[in-house]
Structure 1
Amino acid sequence: MSGLDALPAWAALLTALLVLLGAVVTLIGSIGLLRLNSFYSRVHAPTLGTTVGMASILAGSALYFSVIDARPVIHEILIAIFVTLTTPVTLMLLVRAALYRDRTEGSGDVPTEETAEDAILRTED
């Protein structure tokens, strides 16, 4: 028994909309991964899609199980915290590794460390 017969229509509709919104945002992030041309552009789109899509899907899940169990369900909050903390850290590590590789190989598309530091110092003034 799935408990769907005990789910009110408003909760079912809101859950479906949240899960659908999360799926669409995640799909848009995945399409951005395919469409963008450089590595540095590609890592940005899926990260945003993952974070916003995950938040919508987990909100729908929390709503569904809170209504079915008639008590607040907080497992989704723990999942959201874990994904929200690990996604940007993973992105940062990937970009730093790619920057190191590109600078070591002498790629012309990536500024040198000195140029990047100069740009940071100019913005601080």
Structure 2
Amino acid sequence: MTGQTVADILAGTCLISGALLSLAAGVGLLRFPDLLSRMHAATKPQVLGLLLILAGTALRLQNTIDITTLVLIGVFQLVTAPVAAHMIGRAVYRSGQVRADLLVVDELADDRTNGGPEPRHRSPER
């Protein structure tokens, strides 16, 4: 097998794997019961699926300018997806639209019932 054939096989594998992960993210958005679960499905497999698709595209194109653009797209996705998911989750939690029966541990329950976080006190020096 030539180098081009190996690159084509790797590119195809990355593209198909990325497409399957993106499909799994879409199915998770439709099937999960609450917003926090849907948010998890929208960020984790979707970002990995996009990175695999970008890697497969980069293997296929093999052009410096195109690869640089694909790397920038991947970096921006890695930076913005977690921040957006965090802000959405925070807004939903603060508005009280979280299903408490689906949470395993609710570490913020005291903060929500008391009206906000308590001030942190420094422990005494030893």
Same fold (TM over 0.5): yes
- Mark the runs of 5 or more structure 2 residues left unpaired by the alignment: 101-105, 119-126
Q: Which amino acid aligns with 1:10?
A: V
- Find the residue that maps to 1:74 and give its secondary structure: helix
- TM-score norm. by structure 1 comes to 0.72
2-structure distance, mates of 1:74, 1:97: 35
- CA deviations 1:68-96 (Å, max 9, x no partner) are x4x58322111110000000010011011
Identity %: 28
Is 1:40 the counterpart of 2:25 in the alignment? no
Aligned length: 106
Query: Normalising by structure 2, what TM-score?
Result: 0.72
1:61-76 to 2 correspondence within 5 Å?
61-66=57-62, 69=63, 73-76=67-70
- CA–CA distance in 2 between the matches of 1:97 and 1:45? 18
Structure-1 separation of matches of 2:51 and 2:112: 38
Pairwise CA distance, 1:112 = 4.4
SS at match of 1:102: coil
Deviations 1:11-42 (A, max 9, x none): 22211110000000111111111111111111
AA partner of residue 35 (structure 2): F
Alpha-carbon distance between aligned partners in 2 of 1:50 and 1:98, rounded to the nearest angstrom: 21
2:5 aligns with 9
Task: List gaps (5 residues or longer) in structure 1.
Answer: 1-6, 119-125
1:112 to 1:30, Cα distance in 2 relative to 1, 3 A? farther
List structure 1 segments (4+ residues) > 6 angstroms apart after TM superposition. Answer: 115-118
